[in-house]
């Protein structure tokens, strides 16, 4: 089930980028982030009530709550930066760099969470992702004559 959710997450993240780029053409990026955040807030509350998990909020321990708050703050800063980059940059380059966060995530997971199974494979794949990201953002100065 997790893989289905991960694939759907990737799909909707891709759609999100295209919709966001279309939506911010004539809109301040901070206002665009605000509107997106309000929609996500409302949608999240609807889901919480639909699935009936509202009552579990009181069972969250303090440490988890702090980490969730910090994660939310990090997400907010990420969105502000992402929308600003998207409003002034090429979507293909912005998204490639944004999604390269997987490199940091893998490294943090190895260092902080001690997720070291298949370490060489993870490091090798992470290097390839970095190379691929660089190739996507590097400007091609060669002129093709056809």
Q: How far is the CA of 120 from the CAs of 47, 105, 110, 115, in angstroms? A: 39, 16, 11, 12
Task: Please answer whether residues 87 and 32 qualify as being in contact, where contact means their C-beta atoms are separated by less than 8 angstroms.
Answer: yes
Q: What is the Cβ-side half-sphere exposure of residue 121, based on CA atoms within 13 angstroms?
A: 4
**Could you give the CA distance from residue 143 to residue 48 in angstroms, rounded to a whole number?**
53
Taking each continuous run of H as one helix and of E as one strand, the counts in the chain are 6, 0
Overall pTM > 0.85: no
pLDDT in tens, 6-37: 999 989 988 998 999 999 988 999 999 999 99
pLDDT in tens, 114-123: 999 999 999 9
Local confidence pLDDT in tens for the 146 residues of the chain: 999 999 999 899 889 989 999 999 889 999 999 999 999 999 999 999 999 999 999 999 999 999 999 999 999 999 999 999 999 999 989 998 998 899 999 999 999 999 999 999 999 999 999 999 888 887 665 555 55
């Amino acid at each position: 089930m997790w893989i289905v959710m991960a694939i759907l997450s990737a799909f909707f993240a891709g759609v999100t980028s295209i919709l966001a780029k279309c939506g911010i053409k004539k809109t301040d990026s901070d206002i665009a982030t605000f509107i997106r955040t309000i929609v996500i807030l409302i949608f999240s509350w609807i889901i919480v009530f639909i699935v009936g998990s509202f009552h579990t909020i009181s069972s969250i321990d303090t440490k988890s709550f702090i980490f969730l708050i910090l994660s939310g703050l990090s997400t907010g800063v990420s969105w502000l930066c992402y929308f600003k980059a998207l409003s002034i940059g090429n979507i293909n380059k912005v998204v490639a760099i944004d999604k390269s966060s997987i490199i940091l995530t893998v490294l943090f997971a190895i260092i902080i969470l001690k997720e070291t199974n298949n370490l060489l494979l993870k490091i090798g794949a992470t290097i390839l992702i970095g190379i691929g990201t660089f190739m996507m953002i590097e400007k091609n100065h060669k002129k093709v004559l056809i």
